Copies of this chain bind each other. A is one copy, B any other.
Amino acid sequence: MSRFEVRIAGQGGQGIVTAGVMIGRAASVFGGKNVTLTQSYGPESRGGASKVEVIVSDEKVHYPKIRKPNVVAIMSQEAYQKNLEDLNGNAIVVLDSGMVQEDSSNHARVYHVPATRIAESLGKRIVASMVMVGAIIGLTNILDSGFVENAVAKYTPRGTEQLNLNAFKSGREYAQKLLQEQGVTSQQG
């Protein structure tokens, strides 16, 4: 794939930006791609809305705003209400099922992944966003899984590498099971 766009949205303190940075590093350092990463935050940095958008391309990215996201991952109810409006029909939507109540199933390709619950079972709620990265990779072909594992091992804080890798793998495996239940091997975003 020559270009893909990912949006991850939730609240401050959920590691949203870190998740985007990890995808960006995996794509640039290990995948040899060009990356543009945009983060937005309001005055209330804790508890307020948090969003990251990552564009990965073979070519230089001139327009940093996402136009047709391939994947949108949502980790809070507020983010759910704000971040699904501009989707095209092909976008894959991943909801943190412990954090988001779906209003109506108005989007065809919605997957429910209990990212925060999985993170809690691993011992640290903060790695929920890394579970979500795993789910994104498990559901799509956007990036080689090994590139992301390399990035997680290299760029997460010392002492937390294994926890983050476990979170990533748990999310990927959960997503792969969801696809198997549907009889699909992988979605094209």
Contacts and interface: CB of A to CB of B under 8 A. Distances in A.
A63 B32 CA distance: 27
Interface string A37-65: 11111110100000000000000110111
Interface residues of A, number: 23
A183 B85 CA distance: 52
A97 interface: no
A177 B80 CA distance: 50
A43 B34 contact: yes
A33 interface: yes
Given A64-B65, A65-B64, A65-B65, A35 B40 contact: yes
Given A64-B64, A64-B65, A65-B65, A43 B33 contact: yes
Nearest to A55: B40
